[in-house]
Structure 1
Amino acid sequence: MTITHGGPDAQGVPRWDFSTNVNACGPCPSALNAVQQADARHYPDPAYTALRESLAAFHAVDAARIVLAGSASEFIGRFTAWVAREGGQQVWLPALAYGDYAHAAQAWQFEVVHDPARAQLAWLCEPSSPLGQAEPMAQRVAASGAPVVLDRAYEPLRLSGRCSLDPATLQGVWQLWTPNKAMGLTGVRGAYAIAPERAGAEARALDQLAPSWPLGAHAVALLGAWVSPAAQDWLALSLQTLRGWKREQLDLLAELGWQALPSEANYVCAAPRRPLDAPALRATGIKLRDTTSFGLPSHWRLGVLPPEAQRALGQALAHAEVMQ
């Protein structure tokens, strides 16, 4: 399997990394401190009792509805395996989406269908990736009767708009949360899902499919910190900063002749007016995310970064224009 992803590569960590959707204001100080102070000398509680209770209290749901996962990708694979075990054979996927949904479906030999009413599994993501938009099929998919997973990885980094599903509808779908992006700590892997109401048996089945200790001590610390008032207050302030940075970044792209697509999150997809020399940009310490693997060729996804990084991007692209 060839993995296409943003972030560090064989050349190391890019100095100006526009290729990921991490919160560029991070890391969150209280979350970072919790991770640094995590006691890695011992196993976590294998039942994660305290963590489940704190996550449940944060979302105002019963703790039995919390399903812990090693990462969003691990949950995607496990959930697909569970649906396959139950006899599922068809999956509905967004037109543009994170590749792990399709990879898991392919691994379990699911047929991709275009009508959600035919599916036994459906994936949603809002704000979507790579576009950062609402999913136009969200209401129809949620009403399809299939197990539906709403990937909410970027909900904490939403800068405008709101979820397409109302609170009552949300209680009928699986909600997948990965707070490491919002906390600015993507190197700490850990996620959780909230099962729909009256899906206790399904939640227990997914727990039984998990390996022992899917979360290590550092992931437990991160998820525990994520729901704390200190982390949530910091996140709220960071969103204000990101909104200002995003306006500046969109202005820069417009000045350079790029066509940016609408986005409600801390990232944007845009098409340059000329083909981009990504290796040359990478050599200057700048990395963008080619969205071809998402199904969107000729575009690049750019996470919102601070003004210093934007200046570096503008200078590099202006230099490339002169060289061409």
Structure 2
Amino acid sequence: MSRFWSDHVADLAPYTPGEQPGISDLLKLNTNEHPYGPSPRVVDAIKAATDDRLRLYPDPAATALREAIAALCDVEADQVFLGNGSDEILAHVFNGLFRKAGRPLLMPDISYSFYRSYCRLYQVPHEIIPLAADFSIRVADYTARRDVPAAGIIFANPNAPTGIALGLAEIELILKANPDSAVVVDEAYVDFGAQTAIPLLARYDNLVVIQTLSKSRSLAGLRVGFALAGKQVVNGLLRIKDSFNSYPLDRLAQVGALAAIQDTAYFEQTRQAVIAAREQLVARLTVLGFDVLPTLANFVFARHPAHSALSLSQALRERHILVRHFRQERIEQFLRISVGTPGECERLCNALSEILNKH
């Protein structure tokens, strides 16, 4: 602790990202990165933009990218809000929509852990709602009448780290029951099989949908995310952004993201490859004795009844394979495993088979 810190710094609980070690021959299945590289058009666009124009500030509104996303999602351009990855957008959402005195934010007990970090950072009162025994979100927990309306509701769909998703009808029930609360659906993994809530935007002004190009567009290293919402909500988020950083997306990020959005054929080909590999991985893990939760993400969440998740993750690490283990109540016996290429999944399963046969 430093005597120069502001008063609140010591009380923060920073998010802990998946480790990124420099291990040779590493199979990295711990951070849900796409196993295939970005569209070749992305690389070409970035190379073409790497010239004298880098001396100039980028378009602060990222107009071309915002219009392309609007066309893709069938919304108006002024319903699109862009940020330096979806995490930055989440930060602005917590700051701009959830800080309402005496009204709590509702969120699941098992979900993206950054939500709790932002609650601490922005001093957002919150209520943690346990998932059901099968790790699904109980819609009734978010639709019951409350004496004090919630400041907002946030959940990932598919949820992380479980991979379980709600359908549109269930999301609509939550929206209907909370007309005066912002309902934020974090769709980082939606392209791998879940239903997007975007079609509901036309009917519910309390809905905010957040997506990222890090996962299904293979651009985790570029840091581009976007939110879709009603125009008044977006205007509020723009006020937050422009009071913090008017240029969150640099010139290369804008042209690279635009190329990724426009190359729909590559996007479809690679996301379908991940979905196919996921189904094969689930089948293989089941044969090995794992219990695997039903997932619509680019990862699986699995436990073995006879082996601790910690010991399995350590044994895999010794074989230069990284998976994610959470030391958290209710899920400490689970491993979150990112879906790799078929060859990478084969290497993982062969290693697990060898580990299980030794015990």
**1:65-214 pair list within 5 angstroms:** 65-83=79-97, 87=101, 89-113=103-127, 114=129, 116=142, 117=146, 118-135=149-166, 138-143=171-176, 144=178, 145-158=180-193, 161-163=194-196, 167=200, 168-169=202-203, 172-196=206-230, 199=233, 201-214=235-248
Q: Answer whether contact 2:81 2:234 (CA < 8 A) is retained.
A: no
Q: Which residue of 1 aligns with 2:295?
A: 263
Is 1:44 the counterpart of 2:55 in the alignment?
no
Q: Which residue of 1 aligns with 2:336?
A: 301
Q: Answer whether contact 1:67 1:203 (CA < 8 A) is retained.
A: yes
Structure 1 residues 213-237: Cα deviation after superposition (integer angstroms, max 9, x where no partner):
1111232123212320xx2111212
Q: Answer whether contact 2:110 2:161 (CA < 8 A) is retained.
A: yes
CA distance 1:259–1:146, change in 2 (3 Å) = same
Structure 1 residues 47-94: Cα deviation after superposition (integer angstroms, max 9, x where no partner):
322222222222222222221111211111121112355547411112
Is 1:19 the counterpart of 2:53 in the alignment?
no
- Distance in 2 (alpha carbons) for counterparts of 1:13 and 1:157: 29
Q: Answer whether contact 1:4 1:293 (CA < 8 A) is retained.
A: no
Partner amino acid, structure 1, of 2:256: L
Moved more, 52-61 or 176-185: 52-61
- Distance in 2 (alpha carbons) for counterparts of 1:37 and 1:252: 43
Deviation at 1:198, TM superposition (A): 5.1
Which has the higher Rg, Structure 1 or Structure 2? Answer: 2
Partner amino acid, structure 1, of 2:65: L
Structure 1 residues 284-307: Cα deviation after superposition (integer angstroms, max 9, x where no partner):
220111144596221011121122
Is 1:35 the counterpart of 2:66 in the alignment?
no
CA distance 1:21–1:87, change in 2 (3 Å) = same
Q: Percent identity?
A: 24
Moved more, 142-151 or 194-203: 194-203
Structure 1 portions without partners, runs of 5+: none
CA RMSD of aligned residues (A): 2.7
Q: TM-score, normalised by structure 2?
A: 0.79
- Distance in 1 (alpha carbons) for counterparts of 2:260 and 2:329: 29
Q: Answer whether contact 1:124 1:138 (CA < 8 A) is retained.
A: no
Moved more, 216-225 or 291-300: 291-300
Q: Answer whether contact 1:142 1:169 (CA < 8 A) is retained.
A: no
Q: Which has the higher contact order (CA 8 A, sep 6+)?
A: 1
Q: Which residue of 1 aligns with 2:280?
A: 248
CA distance 1:21–1:14, change in 2 (3 Å) = farther
CA distance 1:170–1:309, change in 2 (3 Å) = farther
SS of corresponding position for 1:227: helix
Q: Which residue of 2 aligns with 1:232?
A: 264
Q: TM-score, normalised by structure 1?
A: 0.87
Q: Answer whether contact 2:157 2:164 (CA < 8 A) is retained.
A: yes
